[in-house]
Amino acid sequence: MRELAYVNGEIMEIQKAMVPIEDRGYQFGDAVYEFIVSYNGRMFCLEEHLDRLQRSMAGLEFPSMERESVRGAILKLFAAAAIPRAGLYLQISRGVAPRNHQVPEAAGQQVIMTIRAVTEKPTELRENGAAVITTEDLRWGRCDWKTVQLLPNVLAKQKAVAAGVFDAIFVSAEGVVREATSSNVAIVKDGVVVTHPLTTHILPGITRMVVLGLCRELGIPAEERFFKTGELYGADEAFLTGTVTEVLPIVKVDDTAIGTAEVGPVTRRLAAELRERARA
């Protein structure tokens, strides 16, 4: 087992990996990324992550890359690291060029990756659920592209940490509940799972998609529609979904207990089913 980095085709120790200071990802946030995990030595939803990567790159009008070459690079690093429960971060920037807002003609995309053992969320959090706060969504209008422009997410997460809670949920100026800093959000009311529809204001989460698929399979009704903070506070259950987050119960939002303030049956079931599928 070795934690490793990949820079434009070369695998090396993470500490030795460097990018030029004029990388546009570094200077402009002109880069896209994915975070993929493995369970028991098998990458989970790799093709879905590649689909989303292609969508993000097309959104920013990056020159397209051969899907096979990106997949090949990911699998090569994954094999070299041999970490059964790995978290792989992949970033593709528009390339390196003298600083200029105008997009350079040919800057040569920079492909970098790191692979490390996943830091699991504490069992206590999974068993008893998390507290979160809400915060105004100050992000830009294309949150459906997975770009590295994560400053609002970083600041919102830090606000949550300072408040002594797990995470922050972005809410629009009109009170629409969007998503958390690195996860999507769902509520359960009268047995129905409700989550924000796929618009430009949220990331099309892969775990969200898997969980909606599980709902269909298990006969749990699910709706993709807008809901506001009032509905969140009044929900029977709430949970986050994400690649690292998996299905994580929320038991408190701001100062309001969700349902009985205990992990509810729908959340518990979806969390268990997701784990089972991922580990299969």
Q: How many binding residues for ligand PDD (CB under 6 A)?
A: 14
Give me the least distance between CB of 242 and ligand PDD, in Å please. Answer: 4
Q: Is position 91 an interface residue for ligand PDD (rule: CB under 6 A)? A: no
Q: Is position 110 an interface residue for ligand PDD (rule: CB under 6 A)? A: no
Using an 8 Å Cβ cutoff, are 259 and 235 in contact? yes
Q: Is position 184 an interface residue for ligand PDD (rule: CB under 6 A)? A: yes
Q: How far is CA 22 from the centre of its chain?
A: 27
Write out the binding residues for ligand PDD, residues 31-60 only, by CB under 6 A: 35
Q: Is position 179 an interface residue for ligand PDD (rule: CB under 6 A)? A: yes
Give me the least distance between CB of 33 and ligand PDD, in Å please. Answer: 7
Among 259, 256, 212, 208, smallest CA distance to 238 is for 259
Is position 76 annotated as part of the catalytic site?
Answer: no
Give me the least distance between CB of 165 and ligand PDD, in Å please. Answer: 17
Write out the binding residues for ligand PDD, residues 197-256 only, by CB under 6 A: 203, 205-208, 241-244
Nearest CB to ligand PDD, comparing residues 24 and 139: 139
Give me the least distance between CB of 105 and ligand PDD, in Å please. Answer: 30
DSSP codes, 168-212? EEEE-TT-BEEEESSSEEEEEETTEEEE--SSTTS---HHHHHHH
Using an 8 Å Cβ cutoff, are 170 and 137 in contact? yes
Nearest CB to ligand PDD, comparing residues 97 and 278: 278
Q: Which of 16, 121, 146, 228 is catalytic?
A: 146
CA dihedral sign of residues 55, 56, 62, 68? negative
Nearest CB to ligand PDD, comparing residues 43 and 103: 43
The contact mask relative to ligand PDD for 125-164 (x = CB under 6 A, - = no) is ----------------------------------------
Among 63, 10, 76, smallest CA distance to 32 is for 63
Nearest CB to ligand PDD, comparing residues 110 and 241: 241
**Tokens at 7, concatenated:** 């820079």
Q: Please list the alpha-helical segments (H only) found in the chain.
A: 24-28, 46-59, 67-81, 123-128, 151-162, 206-218, 229-233, 265-279
Among 196, 266, 214, smallest CA distance to 237 is for 266
Using an 8 Å Cβ cutoff, are 98 and 28 in contact? no
Which residues are designated catalytic? 146
Which positions lie near ligand PDD, rule CB under 6 A? 35, 179, 182-184, 203, 205-208, 241-244
